[in-house]
A and B are shown apart, each in its own frame.
Chain A
Amino acid sequence: MIEIRNLYFSYSNQSMYVLNDINLVVNRGDYISVLGENGSGKSTLMKLILKMIPPTAGNLKNDFSRIGYVPQLFESLNTQFPITVYEILDSYRKTLKIKDKNCIENALAIVNMSAFKNKLIGTLSGGQRQKIFIARALMGQPDLLILDEPSSGIDINSQDEIYRLIKKINVEQEVTVISVEHNLKAAMDNSSHIYHLKNGGGHLCKPVDYINDYVKSSTGGRGNVSI
């Protein structure tokens, strides 16, 4: 479980809070999509949960012991980096001191990428690369999976496949999922809850409530919108 109470965060050289009085509880088995405009503090919130940065004020309690992280695709990857899929997963396995070498094969099988084991990461498509990062995150048998815009820069078909995979991991392996999203449709289809960040503050709601608010704000309360 993650429990965030009255959390504030500002970067050291700025006086304004990026996150302002955040309250959020994430229970085991939840699938939470974090939505919000660019600069609303989504990635900062993830960094706080991942303990990459400390909060300025407030409490953040994180009971999850094994966290798998899937970075944003285009932000992190140098496509000319000379490394094979197997080498990526093996360096992760050895860093985590996982003795069972089969965990690499197992993780690749889950994401249906066994045939790509010896390929260079730079030769894979965006969707295939994202699946490799999901496989890497799964190798540590995480109880919490954090994804940063898992569908950005990926074609529609691969997006569907990736979200089916994340949902399957959430339901069948009971892995709690927190996903920073720009993909509204995927968030509506898969999430148990939406956490909407706006002007530094946030609120948690069910997808159906979020979409009702969204429709109202988009149409001025007059009609329907399609997503």
Chain B
Amino acid sequence: MFQYSFMQNAFIIALLISILCPVVGMFLVLRRYSMIGDTLAHSSLAGVAIGLMLGYNPIISAFVTTSVFGVLIEILRTYYKKYAELILSVILSLSVGIAITIISSGHAHANVETFLFGSILTVTRVDLWTVLALSLFSIAVIAIFYNQLVFITFDEDGAKIAGVKVKWINYIFALLVAATISVSIQIVGVLVLSSLIALPPATALQLNKGFKATLAFSILISMINLISGLFISYYMDAAPGGVTAIMSVVTLLCVIVFQKFKDHIRQK
């Protein structure tokens, strides 16, 4: 299967996003913001539709649009401090509304289904370079702000008092989430992208390790889910998004059962 260049491209992108998604996902999950990831994933469809309508690279247009929605969520949060879920409804209505309007009116000049379910057949070299650039940028930003992000995630008030520019880092983080989503939608698809963001950290949390160890396990689990998802989807001739989502839940269940078994042995 690796004789095809699209498969080579798909696997390189899969490796990149299997690092990026759980790293961003870990902070989202621990801040109880995993639904923000889901909302932004859906809102990226508006960016894809706009890109396809105007003839721009859909990954770049998804990044720009999702960044705008991410920053909008941060701004709206100051207005709805106690009703965060309402903000998600607002963003979801606007973004999906835009996407449906463009797609249903026939202005998107390509197959949008690719971005809904994910596809490995359509990954080009240009996509690969775009994804590589956005991924390296995101990983560098995370590396720079890693300690502040850990601090904010664990104790936001404490971080503010210690002088961390929490508001700015939240905005930067919103851009990171947008970048992560836009590089992932082509392979995994909009509909099940949250399985790549939220499920590996959720699985690694079951292992009861420290922060760095949980992060490392999240990446490992994410790689297992994505690579196995790609292999299976290739041989089943199915969309990789769906298979990866199923694999993510299967891995989670395996880890839960393994932990229960381990606890049972320990108690004996």
Binding site for B on A (CB under 8 A): 50, 52, 67, 69, 71, 76, 78, 80-84, 86-88, 90-92, 94-96, 118, 120, 136, 140
Contacts and interface: CB of A to CB of B under 8 A. Distances in A.
A88 B162 contact: no
Contacts of B148: 95
A71 B158 contact: yes
Given A81-B30, A82-B205, A120-B208, A95 B157 contact: no
Interface in B23-43: 30
A140 B210 CA distance: 23
20 contacts: A50-B161, A52-B157, A69-B162, A76-B155, A78-B30, A81-B30, A81-B154, A82-B205, A82-B213, A83-B210, A84-B210, A87-B150, A87-B211, A87-B212, A91-B151, A91-B154, A95-B151, A95-B162, A96-B163, A120-B209
A46 to B, nearest CB: 10
Contacts of A136: 158
B211 A83 contact: yes
B155 A71 contact: yes
| Residue of A71, A84, A90, A95 with most chain B CB atoms under a 10 A cut-off | A95
A91 B30 contact: no
B209 A76 contact: no
B159 interface: yes
Contacts of B125: none
A76 B158 contact: yes
Contacts of A69: 157-158, 161-162
B157 A76 contact: yes
Contact of B150 (A78, A91, A96): A91
B211 A82 contact: yes
Contacts of A71: 155, 157-158
| Residue of A83, A87, A118 with most chain B CB atoms under a 10 A cut-off | A83
Nearest to B156: A76
B210 A120 contact: yes
Nearest to B214: A82
Contacts of B204: 82
Contacts of B211: 82-84, 87
A38 B154 CA distance: 26
- Nearest 8 pairs of A and B residues by beta carbon: A84-B210, A94-B147, A82-B214, A91-B150, A83-B211, A69-B161, A91-B151, A91-B147
A69 B159 CA distance: 10
A103 B205 CA distance: 29
Interface string B145-182: 00110110011011111111000000000000000000
Interface in B221-258: none
| Residue of B158, B159, B160, B208 with most chain A CB atoms under a 10 A cut-off | B158
B30 A87 contact: no
A136 B147 CA distance: 15
Contacts of A84: 210-211
Contacts of A81: 30, 154
A139 to B, nearest CB: 10
B157 A92 contact: no
Nearest to A118: B210
Contacts of B157: 52, 69, 71, 76
B210 A92 contact: no
B154 to A, nearest CB: 6
Contacts of A76: 155, 157-158
A211 to B, nearest CB: 32
